[in-house]
Structure 1
């Protein structure tokens, strides 16, 4: 069953600064310290974890257009057991999951997880990974509350 429209109209019409904020976040995470494919994989996993079809379709499409294989895109949901990811990518995915998943046994990002990620990423890259998680999380409320239409162009997703 296809959705008839989003819940909200285009939020940029009400808060024009959103376009500038989105652009600034994209520029900040595109600083070259982390491969864009890694950022895309993390953001796809974040969309899956928060249960947003819109974000999952958006980030899957971005990865596909960037040349990622269907196997890697599909396996993000089960990345721990999938053979398609490097140790560095696994560390990045683990950070995204840790931030977005409550931990009943203590802090979400343990010292061990941070140390593991530090083996693959320097301080600039770790900061960039942190911003990439924040970037997708910034848009989570709009995705879940506004419910833009997945798989549509930016002009058509808010109707």
Structure 2
């Protein structure tokens, strides 16, 4: 299977400019790179994108993450291998990417307060954009359906 739009940059040359800005903004150092990768992996799991899951699992491996931590992202709530800050970021990811509960906000004040315990204003703004970029890439992967990278 090949991507539905093999090279979007051919049709949208400005696409690379957008990508460059997102990478620069989300990689400003206020949120650890490992946390951003965990967020992207979790988002890929939640939207059901094999391409994104394999891509971000490979990126985590390359960055030196253990197989246990990579595998545990799917069950992060009871996995002992994540820091409190990573747990807050993963909880925020779940709130953003899981369907909304019928009886409350997707990102309630208590969750935002938990995130604020671990991240300063710049890091919270960055984490918000990490989540936005995850949504951007998840949408592209779901529409374009690129072939998963071989294991």
Shorter-normalised TM range:
over 0.9
Distance 1:103 1:130 in 2: 20
CA drift at 1:140: 1.8
Greater than 4 Å deviation, 4+ residue runs = none
Distance 1:64 1:104 in 2: 37
User: 1:14 corresponds to which residue?
Assistant: 11
User: 2:58 corresponds to which residue?
Assistant: 61
SS of the counterpart of 2:118?
coil
Q: Which runs of 5+ in 2 are unaligned?
A: none
Judging by fraction of residues, say which structure has more helix. Answer: 2
Q: Indicate the RMSD between aligned Cα atoms, in angstroms.
A: 1.0
Q: Which runs of 5+ in 1 are unaligned?
A: 153-159
SS of the counterpart of 1:32?
coil
User: 1:125 corresponds to which residue?
Assistant: 123
Task: Kindly tell me the number of residue pairs found equivalent between the two proteins.
Answer: 149
Question: After alignment, is 8-17 or 59-68 more displaced?
Answer: 8-17
CA drift at 1:8: 2.1
User: 1:39 corresponds to which residue?
Assistant: 36
1:75-116 CA-partner distances (Å, limit 9, x unpaired) = 000000111100000000001110111222211000000001
